[in-house]
Amino acid sequence: MTEPSYSEFRQMIEGTFESVPFVREVGLQLHQVDFEKQTLSAIFARKPQLIGNHYHNILHGGVIATALDQVGGFTAMVAAYQRMGGAMDWEEKIQRLMRLGTVDMRVDYLKPGRGEHFLCSGSILRVGNKLVVTRMELHNDTEELIATGTATFLY
Amino acid sequence: MTEPSYSEFRQMIEGTFESVPFVREVGLQLHQVDFEKQTLSAIFARKPQLIGNHYHNILHGGVIATALDQVGGFTAMVAAYQRMGGAMDWEEKIQRLMRLGTVDMRVDYLKPGRGEHFLCSGSILRVGNKLVVTRMELHNDTEELIATGTATFLY
Amino acid sequence: MTEPSYSEFRQMIEGTFESVPFVREVGLQLHQVDFEKQTLSAIFARKPQLIGNHYHNILHGGVIATALDQVGGFTAMVAAYQRMGGAMDWEEKIQRLMRLGTVDMRVDYLKPGRGEHFLCSGSILRVGNKLVVTRMELHNDTEELIATGTATFLY
Amino acid sequence: MTEPSYSEFRQMIEGTFESVPFVREVGLQLHQVDFEKQTLSAIFARKPQLIGNHYHNILHGGVIATALDQVGGFTAMVAAYQRMGGAMDWEEKIQRLMRLGTVDMRVDYLKPGRGEHFLCSGSILRVGNKLVVTRMELHNDTEELIATGTATFLY
């Protein structure tokens, strides 16, 4: 019973993440996936369409929520994939992961979304056989913590 | 002491809502503002860029969060404007409203975001002299409740 | 195929609700259960041990959270019981309901918890075959809305 | 301009924490306060009245929410006190802190509340001149993470 390498799964994650239409719209790009720590991060650059407040030239809260939801969801996939273990075959696992959806999310907007580049990272609070709870953070290029979030996913 | 008509404020709301760059990107349009009930709603149509899941052809959670945040924020402005009353002059009120920001938000994703058109509506749970708490709902064109949210705003 | 009366289930709910030790401690009592509307409510009286702030003589936030969690959970049981339908036998359904647990909860503290008596009511936002999402409200005896909440339950 | 020692404030925190009636009811005791890191923790022991589920002998969700709310609030006080700095006198600061209240809170119930002793700790996500956002965690005596929470406080 050989523990499979994650190369196939990593390819799937990489192929899927940026193929999500709204993720492309925002310009969110997968940055890192760590299967051992079950963490994942993505980056994006400020562009005029992402602004929520002219006067202050800051990101719209919806952009931040989009990044947190997307990163949380894919971090949850990483943990759920490992949780399903060897009991299921590849096909079946992927099918379950494709159905993974956000149940609820809290976002805390800590500082105005100022900056040129943003890094959004996700980690696992709990992984069960149906639910995954993740924590997410968004930092700007001066390492300010712009927002945090917690989300529950069902798979 | 004449109670001012809301025409000037309504114009401001209407002029501002759709000028928000990310709101245009999503295609969210102001639908109704009711100053007496302190409710506000917006509509948007599905378009390919808003999709979050190819397989299921549903809205990205971030699109839903964007609509809820935006509608919640503008509903909060309506209530905050009235709360400030006659004690402040127009200039000062508008300046405070321009600084209104989301403190935190919870989104509950109740059903997959399927549909051609969506209606997002906001109402007030509490308005204080610093904070406003709003509740938001998103329905699709078959009147399914897709998502609800609660958010806290500071002004 | 006769639709069973809810009398047996109602008895179970009534017998269980007030047998929860911490619920007795707080003094929370089941008030109403409506199986058709899938709503449930409970009442409790202010007593010195429930106070959170001497100076203002108001309920501790934890008392409010306790009422919301408890009422949300039992409202969720009502909906989950009906959702399981005739496919499962009584024994099996009850076993699943006994395992029902809170996944997460948001509480909004809208007004100070002043009053002699409080009514906490729950309703259903969504019932699935694994998760139930409920909304809860707490009113005092002058019908002020003290707090609202949203919670997700797994069964 | 001597930086005041925190001894007076520490005394106030220590004197106030366990004088809260519902905190006594639950048996929550202040454990540590770190003014530099702006962290605070409290402990409590399982007792029969705190149980929420007979069958599983676990804490009621409301007990967990009580601990998180209380620890979050007092952690927020520590940060708010420092944020107010030397501009206000002692009297005025304490008056503002006495009015500090929870605006909203999210609790994530990650594992059943099993254990003999529990440690609840709080830290600061953001401190502004009106709002403080805190994160809280509850561990049991085998160092399992039972619950996490995020709360917003107004002062």
CA–CA gap between residue D23 and residue D63 (Å, rounded): 10
A69, A150, D73 from A28: Cα distances, Å: 12, 19, 36
Q: Which of C125, C145, C148 sits opposite B110 (nearest CB)?
A: C125
Above 80 in pLDDT, residue A5? no
Query: What would the DSSP string read from start to end of B40-63?
Result: EEEEEE--GGGEEETTTTEE-HHH
Q: Looking at chain B, which residue has its C-alpha nearest residue A108?
A: B104
Instruction: Locate the DSSP E strands across chain C.
Output: 29-34, 39-45, 51-53, 58-59, 101-109, 117-127, 131-140, 145-154
Contact: B145, C133; criterion CB under 8 Å: no
- Chain B residues closer than 8 Å to A55 by CB: 98
A56, A117, A120, A138, D112 from A44: Cα distances, Å: 19, 6, 8, 11, 38
Report chain B's terminal Cα–Cα distance, integer Å: 26
Which residues, 6 or more positions from B29, have their beta carbon under 8 angstroms from its beta carbon? B17, B18, B42, B43, B44
Contact: B133, D106; criterion CB under 8 Å: no
Contact: B19, A53; criterion CB under 8 Å: no
Please tell me whether residue D22 adopts helix, strand or coil conformation.
helix
CA–CA gap between residue D128 and residue B59 (Å, rounded): 35
- Chain D residues closer than 8 Å to C73 by CB: 61
From the CB of residue B142, how many other CB atoms can be counted at a distance below 10 Å? 9
Contact: C125, B145; criterion CB under 8 Å: yes
Decide: pTM greater than 0.80.
yes
Chains that touch C (3 or more CB pairs under 8 A): A, B, D
* Mutation to test the A interface, candidates B58, B105, B120, B153, most A Cβ within 10 Å: B105
Please tell me whether residue A55 adopts helix, strand or coil conformation.
coil
Quick one: average pLDDT of C72-90? 93
Q: How far is CA D72 from the centre of its chain?
A: 4
DSSP state for residue A47 in the 8-state scheme: -
Which residues, 6 or more positions from A85, have their beta carbon under 8 angstroms from its beta carbon? none
**B30-78 pLDDT, tens digit each:** 999 999 999 999 999 999 999 998 778 999 999 999 999 999 999 999 9
Q: Which of D126, D148, D152 sits opposite A125 (nearest CB)?
A: D148
**D83-133 pLDDT, tens digit each:** 998 778 899 999 999 999 999 999 999 999 999 999 999 999 999 999 999
Q: Which of D110, D126, D152 sits opposite A133 (nearest CB)?
A: D110
How buried is residue B87: exposed, middle or buried, by Cβ count under 10 Å (0-12/13-18/19+)? exposed
Which listed CATH number (3.40.50.2300, 3.10.129.10, 3.40.50.150, 3.90.1150.10) goes with B6-154? 3.10.129.10
Distance from CA of B114 to the nearest CA of D (A): 28
Contact: A154, C133; criterion CB under 8 Å: no
Name the pLDDT band for C1 (thresholds 50, 70, 90): very low
Q: What's the pLDDT score for residue B7?
A: 86
Query: What would the DSSP string read from start to end of C35-70?
Result: TTTTEEEEEEE--GGGEEETTTTEE-HHHHHHHHHH
Contact: B62, A22; criterion CB under 8 Å: yes
**B42 close to B120: Cβ distance less than 8 angstroms:** yes
Report chain C's terminal Cα–Cα distance, integer Å: 25
- Chain C residues closer than 8 Å to B111 by CB: 126
Q: What's the pLDDT score for residue B87?
A: 77
Q: Phi and psi at residue A111, in whole multiples of 5°?
A: -140, 155
- Chain A residues closer than 8 Å to B112 by CB: 101
CA–CA gap between residue D98 and residue D96 (Å, rounded): 5
Name the pLDDT band for A55 (thresholds 50, 70, 90): confident
Above 90 in pLDDT, residue D65? yes
Q: Which of D21, D23, D112 sits opposite C48 (nearest CB)?
A: D21
Please name the amino acid found at residue B61. G
Above 60 in pLDDT, residue A121? yes
Q: What's the pLDDT score for residue B56?
A: 83
Contact: D52, C25; criterion CB under 8 Å: no
